[in-house]
Every structure is written in structure tokens, then in C-alpha cells.
Structure 1
Amino acid sequence: MGAASAIFLVLVTLFLPPLGVYAIAGCGADLFINICFTLLGYFPGHIHAFYLEYIYFDRQEQAKAGQINYSRAPGIYSERIQRGGNGYGTIVQPTG
């Protein structure tokens, strides 16, 4: 994701936290947890959504720098977020 996509994602998350989580995690446990947090109060849903987005973009930056983080971030159930969106598919990524 580029900078414009990240800014758009943050703006979407400000208004609808579950939509921002869905964009990075898809339909799964993290989305369900965020919906519950948002129903309990608008502020907890934001905290959870921005935490997921922080981990997602942090793992993307680590992968671009060639650092592989094998530890799991606590409280995140989506493998897509844990890997920063990387590691899916069978196509070998070009190096260099």
C-alpha cells in the first residue's frame, strides 16, 4: 500500500472502525472483535482498529527492510496482519 492508501484507510477508520479493519484483515476474528468493541463504545473500536493498522503497516515496513519478524503481535488473530499482507500466494517475489 502506498501513502495515499494508508491515509485513506486512516480516514475510513476514523468514521467506521470495522470497515478499516475489514480492509486489512478481511472477514474473521479481528473484524468480529472490532465490531463488538465498536458496539460497546465508539472509542474502544478506534483503539483496536488503529492498533491493527499499526501492526499491519509496521510489519510491511519490516518486510521491505528485509527484516522478518517471527514473533506474533498479541491480540491479533489475522495472519494477514501478522505478516503485513505478505506471504500469500505461490509467486516468488523478486529480490533487489
Structure 2
Amino acid sequence: MKLLRILLAVLIPPVGVFMTYGFGPTLLINIGLTLLGWLPGSIHGLWAVVKHEEKLSRQEEVY
């Protein structure tokens, strides 16, 4: 599932971000960036998904 979200964040950025965060400010930012161009949306989508995965892995280490 992680790999799928990363691939979608690169290919179709709003879909990857939606699968990771749901509807919220991160998705709206990504949609705006994607409307400006595929590359800014893709970079933001990839960054958002990877940061979310890092946060989850750090939380698992604590428990």
C-alpha cells in the first residue's frame, strides 16, 4: 500500500495525497499546486506521502 501511494503521488498527485490524508488542507494545497503544473504537485505529493510514512514509523518505534 505504501508503494502504491508513492506511485500515485508521483503520477496523479491529488489521488496519492487523498489516499494518505483524506480531504483536508494538504489535499487542497496539492490540488492548487497540481493546477499550476504537474511537477509542483508531484513534488509536494511525494513529500507529503513520505513525511506521513516517516511520522508513522517514528510513532511505531515509541510503542
Same fold (TM over 0.5): yes
Which consecutive segments of 4 or more residues in structure 1 shift more than 4 A? none
Structure-2 separation of matches of 1:53 and 1:14? 10
Higher helix share: 2
* Equivalent in the alignment of 2:6: 10
Deviations along 1:6-48, one digit per CA (max 9) or x if unpaired, are 1111122222100000011111111111011001010000111
**Structure 1 residue identity aligned to 2:42:** H
Structure-1 separation of matches of 2:2 and 2:46? 11
Task: Report the TM-score, using the length of structure 1 for normalisation.
Answer: 0.61
Q: Which stretches in structure 2 are left out of the alignment for 5+ residues?
A: none
Structure-2 separation of matches of 1:28 and 1:61? 22
Q: How does 1:72-91 map to 2 (within 5 A)?
A: none
Compute the displacement of 1:54 (Å).
Answer: 1.5
* Equivalent in the alignment of 1:52: 48
Give aligned-pair identity as a percent: 30
Higher normalized contact order (CA 8 Å, seq sep 6+, divided by chain length)? 2
**Structure 1 residue identity aligned to 2:34:** T
Which has more radius of gyration? Answer: 1
RMSD: 1.2
Greater shift in the superposed pair: 10-19 or 36-45 = 10-19
The 8 Å contact of residues 10 and 42 in structure 2, kept in 1 or not, is answered as: yes
